[in-house]
Amino acid sequence: MTRTGAAPASAPSAAIIEPASADHAVVPTDLGLDVDTADRALLLGQWYGLRGLPDVYVSVVMPAAIARSLLDGRERTVNRLEPVESKALDYLVAFDLGKFDLGFALGTGHPRLGWSQRPPPASIDRTLPGPDGIDRAARSRSPAW
């Protein structure tokens, strides 16, 4: 299948997909986003621009299509997928945060940005100050895609 309506170079990098799934496309229904494609088919792992929303991108992926090298235990943070979840269709939306001014408010249940007591200890990476790699609300620049 020919890729049409691909996102501009400023979009995130495409997902690393198994070669056997590289040409697999889906036609999303009831997505509610006006994807900038010549047809409605979206190739798995590719990013597409949205009409009227510059610097916003959409992608679809099925975990079963992700490259085996990423899922076969190389990374200790990637758990094995069950059959149902590996066939789930996941919709992803990305925003170029360098083009938007976003704000946030600290929550009342866990007003810090460090690790919460809720996740299982095995899922906590103690080399990071928090789950997002930060532990303070100091303003910082977002990393490049």
pLDDT tens, the chain, 145 aa long = 444 556 678 889 999 999 999 999 999 888 899 998 888 899 999 999 999 999 999 999 999 999 888 777 555 666 777 889 889 999 999 998 888 887 767 666 666 778 888 888 888 888 888 887 887 776 555 544 4
pLDDT at residue number 5: 55
Cβ proximity of 102 and 140 under 8 Å: no
Residues 114, 94, 100, 104: is their CA dihedral positive or negative?
negative
pLDDT at residue number 103: 76
CB proximity list for 125: less than 8 A, separation 6 or greater = 77
Q: What is the pTM of this model?
A: 0.68
Contacts 24+ apart (CB under 8 A), 123-131: 123/77, 125/77
